[in-house]
Structure 1
Amino acid sequence: MPERLELLGYPLDAVDLEGAVRVLLGWMDAPGAQPHTVITLNPEIVVQADADLELARVIRQADLVTADGVGIVWAAKRLLRRELPGRAPGYDLSVRLLEERGPSLRVFFLGGKPGVAEAAAQRARALYGVQVVGSAHGYFKHDGVEDRAVAERIRDARPELLLTALGAGKQEGFNERFRDLMGVPVSIGVGGTLDVLAGTANLAPEWTRRLGVEWIWRVAGDRKRWGRAPRLGQFVLRVLRTR
């Protein structure tokens, strides 16, 4: 396991993409594999968790917390005087696992609008040869009844990897709340990854991903995301005040 740091009161594992992939593959291969949750931490989730005690608890319970965006890398350098070895965003982490295991990997795709998870699953099967053991859209109630029924369906499908795209906060909460019931070796909250796999959203240009500023491209190109932009400003202020 990588070294675990604490950033703004939340865990952060000092690991790059390839290191994270090795950890997750190890969990899948372990005899009697136990359920694990993965969170790719970004400024938006941190700001949400500051106002949501349950989300804060979920982050602290996660087995692996990777740096998703450049904001987390910047905060670690400024507050902890640490240069992180790299980032492990949700999309890149998902694709690397699909590539690495291919036909031997059992995957369940959860989230998005009706039809998105199914399309993402079909494309993943075509590109990487993975075993699609199930898919379901994300339009269900988080009321202890509908969400539990979805979790039971995932349990019965016996995936090794669960890609959950319910939106920041909800996806992490679902994975943690039902981790023991589902028993999935690796569950990751992946945001818009399924939309990209399905072809209903474009992957940010390579230069933005290389620099870690994909969010600028996404926000600028989607008016629905404009309301989320102020959270970055809140995060920056939080870091500066903490310093």
Structure 2
Amino acid sequence: MTRPDPTAASASEARLTLFDLPLDVVTLEQTLDRLGGWMFRAPRSPHTVVTLNPEFIVQSRTQPEFVRAMQEADLVTADGVGIVWAARQLHGREVPRAPGYDIVKGLMQRHGSELRVFFLGARPGVAEQAAQNAMRDYGIQVAGVHHGYFDSSEDQRVAELVGASGAHLVLTGMGAGRQEIFNQYWRQVLAAPVLLGCGGVIDVFAGTADLAPAWTRKLGVEFIWRVGLDRKRWNRAPRLAQFMRLVQAEKRRQGRGTQ
């Protein structure tokens, strides 16, 4: 089977900067091509992937370590419509979306039984269910599972467990910031070619969280749908408003700078 060359970037690809954070202008298909190349290339080399959303930007304003983890990532995709809107406002560029769930599902569909996946995250028992469902639906190999509720003092133990699994893909779902910092800091120990901070994707695969309806995902407004129906997410709405204010302030600043 011929593998795509992950270094053969399209002429249309570029890396933008949003609030000191990188953003790669890549489609979902280009993302899947690049990650597929990384996963099966010899010798193996770890790569971190971030799916950027507005909450990440707001949260990172007070977390320098989170900023560094994203700045050092090998690939940063636009997860939500808010990032697409920000790129349009601040750079005049149309940036395609490559959300975490779509990336994970696409990789499983493409590579099936040749793909070894480690499910790291969510509450105890959830990663196991997600792994079983993914194995049933896509025929993947389960490299291992571990919940995401462990203290930082256990980071090395868990990283070594993942590193010994021979996984091609590690799905790290431990919450924004924690998962990206963990992947970046322990990348050499984790050793897998693709380390993806995936948020609630493990819960979706397990069936303990619902995927937003197709129409909301197509329009890029699934965040609004989730916040509206899930009381636990209501406290996240102010972050979206704060993000919009940040973008508007930065746009005004850029405008003054060009006058």
| TM-score interval (norm. to shorter) | over 0.9
Question: Shift in Å at residue 29 of structure 1?
Answer: 2.3
TM norm structure 1: 0.97
Partner of 1:95: 105
Distance 1:87 1:162 in 2: 21
Distance 1:134 1:111 in 2: 11
Do structure 1's residue 110 and structure 2's residue 108 form an aligned pair?
Answer: no
Partner secondary structure for residue 87 of structure 1: coil
Partner of 1:63: 74
Aligned partner of 1:10 among 21, 29, 33: 21
Question: Shift in Å at residue 23 of structure 1?
Answer: 0.7
Aligned partner of 1:238 among 238, 241, 246: 246
Q: Deviations over 1:84-128 (max 9, x none)?
A: 1x1001111000001110000010001001100000000000000
Partner of 1:164: 172
Distance 2:28 2:138 in 1: 19
Question: Shift in Å at residue 197 of structure 1?
Answer: 0.5
Distance 1:182 1:200 in 2: 26
Distance 1:164 1:217 in 2: 24
State the 4+ residue runs in structure 1 displaced beyond 4 angstroms. none
Matching residue's letter, 1:122:
Q
Matching residue's letter, 2:191:
G
Partner of 2:150: 140
Aligned partner of 1:81 among 92, 109, 116: 92
How many residues align? The count is 240
Partner of 1:207: 215
Q: CA RMSD in A?
A: 0.8
Partner secondary structure for residue 135 of structure 1: strand
**Preserved CA contact (<8 Å) 2:40 2:168:** no
Distance 1:185 1:95 in 2: 17
Structure 2 runs not aligned, ≥5 long: 1-8, 252-259
Partner of 1:29: 40
TM norm structure 2: 0.91
Question: Shift in Å at residue 220 of structure 1?
Answer: 1.2
How many percent of aligned residue pairs carry the same amino acid? Answer: 55
Question: Shift in Å at residue 33 of structure 1?
Answer: 2.0
Structure 1 runs not aligned, ≥5 long: none
Distance 1:27 1:33 in 2: 8
Matching residue's letter, 1:88:
A
Partner secondary structure for residue 108 of structure 1: strand
**Preserved CA contact (<8 Å) 2:18 2:87:** yes
Distance 1:87 1:33 in 2: 27
Aligned partner of 1:182 among 171, 190, 209: 190
Structure 1 window deviating more from structure 2 (124-133 vs 22-31): it is 22-31
Larger of the two Rg values belongs to structure: 2
Partner secondary structure for residue 229 of structure 1: helix
Q: Deviations over 1:112-159 (max 9, x none)?
A: 01100000000000000000010011110013xx11111000001010
Q: Deviations over 1:188-234 (max 9, x none)?
A: 01111111100111110001100111111111111111111111011
